[in-house]
Structure 1
Amino acid sequence: MSDSIQLNLGALRSAMKLTLHTHHAARIWHGRSATEDKNGIIGLSGFVGILNKIKRGAEQDDPYSDLWLIRVEEKLASSKLILGEVQEHLDQVMAHVPVALSIGDNLNVQPVTLPLFISSQHGFMAVYLLTQYDDLARRLLLAHHTAMIGRRDMERWLNEGAHVLRSLFALVQPYKFSGASRDDFAANNARAREAREKFGELPQDILDGTLRAEFAPPIVRPRGGSVLGHADAGDDEPADAADLDESPDTGEG
C-alpha cells in the first residue's frame, strides 16, 4: 500500500469499569468531603485528578512535576509492598482452615460498578492497589466470619490497608505547577529563580532530565516540534488510557 494513501482512522477506545465488593474499598474510592467538624479525605478519584495535572506539568518540561512523578512511583511501590505483607499474614492464618472445609470466595451479591476515566499509568497502578485492598477486605471479613481471626485483628488490618492508600492519595495534595521549564533553568531567568524560591533546589539528574519516572510522559516542546521521551521509551505514549490514538506524535503543543 502506498505511503501517500491517507486512512481516516479514529482513536482506539476501550470501555473500562471497576467493580468493588466492600464498603471499605468504596469509601476509599470516594474519599470524604470536609465538614465543620471533620477534615476532608481525598479519594482515588481526587488522586487521579491531581495526577493528571502532574502529568501535564511533566509534558511541559517542568522538572518539579518530573520529581513529583518519581515520588508517586516510589510511594506506589512501597504501598504495594505493605499491602502484600498484610495479605501474606492473612494467607498464613487461612492456611489453618481444616482440609475438610471448603470455603468459596466472599463476593458481594450486589457490588458497585464504577466507570473508569483515567489518563495516566500511575492512576491505573493506584486502581490496582484499590482492587488489592478490596480483595484483602473481603478475605478479612470472611476470616472473621469463620472465626479464623478476632474483630480486633480484622479491624487492625483493615485500617492498616486503608491508611496505606489514603497516605498515597494525600501525597500529591500539595502539588503545584511551577510554571518553569528546563529551558528557563538553563537561562536562569526570572521564572526559574521564582520557582527555586518557591519549591527549592532540584537534584541535578532531575534538572537535566537524565532521571525521569518509568512512566513519565514524553516532553512536548511548543516550538521546534521536538518530543523528548523517557530514556528507553521508543514508542509514543497514548494521550489517554481509554482513548488510544495511533497517529504519530508530531510534538505540537
Structure 2
Amino acid sequence: MAEEKNETDTAKAGALRSSLTIELHSHYAIRLWEGRRRQPDDLRERGRPQILSMPRVIQRAGLMSRDAEGDNPYADMALLKLENALDLATTEIQKLVDELEATLKAIPARISLTDVSSVSPLNIGVFSRTPLGYRCVWLLVGYDQLAMKVFQASHYGLISGKERDEMLSNGGHLVRKVYGVAQHYRSFAVTRADLQQNTVIASEAVKLLGDVDLEVMTGKMLSTFSPNLKKLAENSEASE
C-alpha cells in the first residue's frame, strides 16, 4: 500500500527557464554584434576606435546591475544613462523604420512586395543577467530590420543611394552611442554609505569618477531596472 503523504506537504515547482535566439540578416547588424577590436598592426584600422561586441555590452550591463545590487550609486547612474540612451535610440530607429514602411507601401496598385530576409541569417543564442542587456539586443534587432528595409527600398528605387547611406549611418550611430555607455562604465567598489561618511574609498571614487547625481544618490531618480529602486524609494520616503 502506497504511503500517504502528509497533508502539510506541498508540491513545489522547479526553477523557471527560458531560452532566446535571434536572427540577424544584414551585414551591418552582424558587424555591430561582433564589434571591432583595435588592430595596431593593420594600417587600415589605425585611427578607428574600438567598438564593443554585443556580448561585451551585455556583460557590462550585467556588471552595472551587479554593482548596483551592492548599493553602488555610480552603477545606478550608469544604468539610468544606459536606459535613457536605449529609449532614445529605440524611438529614433523605429521612426526610420516607420518612414521606410510608408515609402514601401506607396507603390503603384497591383504591385506587391514580400518582406526581405537573408537566405542564410546568423542565428545567435542570447543570455543576459539583466533586462537592460536584452534591451540592447532588441535595439540591434531593430537596426537589422531597418537595414533590411533600407536595402529593399533602395533596390526598387524608392529611395536614393544617399538616403540609403544616411539612414544606415544614422541608425548605426544610435546603436554605437548605446555601446559607448557600456564601454565607458568603470566598476569601483564604493557604496552610498561610503560617500555619506566620506571614507577614503569614497574620496578615491570621486577623484576617479566625479560626483554622484544627488537624485540618484537619494534614489529619487533611478533606472526602471535598477535593483535598488524599491529599497531606495522606501528609504527616501522614510527620511522625508
TM-score of Structure 1 vs Structure 2, range by shorter chain = 0.7 to 0.9
| In structure 2, distance between residues paired with 1:53 and 1:186 | 23
Aligned ranges 1:130-145 → 2 under 5 Å? 130-145=140-155
Does residue 156 of structure 2 align to residue 146 of structure 1? Answer: yes
Cα displacement (A) at 1:76: 0.6
Residue from 34, 40, 43 that aligns with 2:38: 34
Aligned ranges 1:30-179 → 2 under 5 Å? 30-36=34-40, 37=43, 38=45, 39-179=49-189
Residue from 19, 23, 34 that aligns with 1:15: 19
Cα displacement (A) at 1:8: 6.2
| In structure 2, distance between residues paired with 1:125 and 1:144 | 29
Q: Percent identity?
A: 26
In structure 2, the residue corresponding to 1:13 is in which secondary structure? coil
Amino acid aligned to 1:22: S
**CA contact 1:214–1:230 (8 Å) conserved in 2:** no
Amino acid aligned to 1:13: R
Q: How many residues align?
A: 224
Cα displacement (A) at 1:85: 2.4
Mean Cα deviation higher: 60-69 or 44-53: 44-53
Mean Cα deviation higher: 22-31 or 209-218: 209-218
Aligned ranges 1:203-222 → 2 under 5 Å? 203-218=213-228
Aligned ranges 1:179-198 → 2 under 5 Å? 179-198=189-208
Amino acid aligned to 1:117: F
Give ranges in structure 2 of 5+ residues lacking alignment: 235-240
| In structure 1, distance between residues paired with 2:99 and 2:123 | 29
In structure 2, the residue corresponding to 1:40 is in which secondary structure? coil
Cα displacement (A) at 1:104: 0.7
Deviations 1:229-253 (A, max 9, x none): 4749xxxxxxxxxxxxxxxxxxxxx
Deviations 1:163-214 (A, max 9, x none): 1101110122121122111121222221222212221222222112232210
Moved over 3 A (4+): 1-10, 228-232
In the superposition, relative to structure 1, how do residues 197 and 109 fare at CA in structure 2: closer, same or farther (>3 Å)? same
| In structure 2, distance between residues paired with 1:98 and 1:67 | 50
In structure 2, the residue corresponding to 1:107 is in which secondary structure? coil
| In structure 2, distance between residues paired with 1:166 and 1:103 | 31
TM-score normalised to structure 2 length: 0.85
| In structure 2, distance between residues paired with 1:165 and 1:62 | 26
Give ranges in structure 1 of 5+ residues lacking alignment: 220-227, 233-253
**CA contact 1:212–1:230 (8 Å) conserved in 2:** no
Higher helix share: 2
**CA contact 1:58–1:216 (8 Å) conserved in 2:** yes
In the superposition, relative to structure 1, how do residues 5 and 78 fare at CA in structure 2: closer, same or farther (>3 Å)? same
Cα displacement (A) at 1:116: 0.5
Cα RMSD, aligned residues only: 2.3
**CA contact 2:116–2:152 (8 Å) conserved in 1:** yes
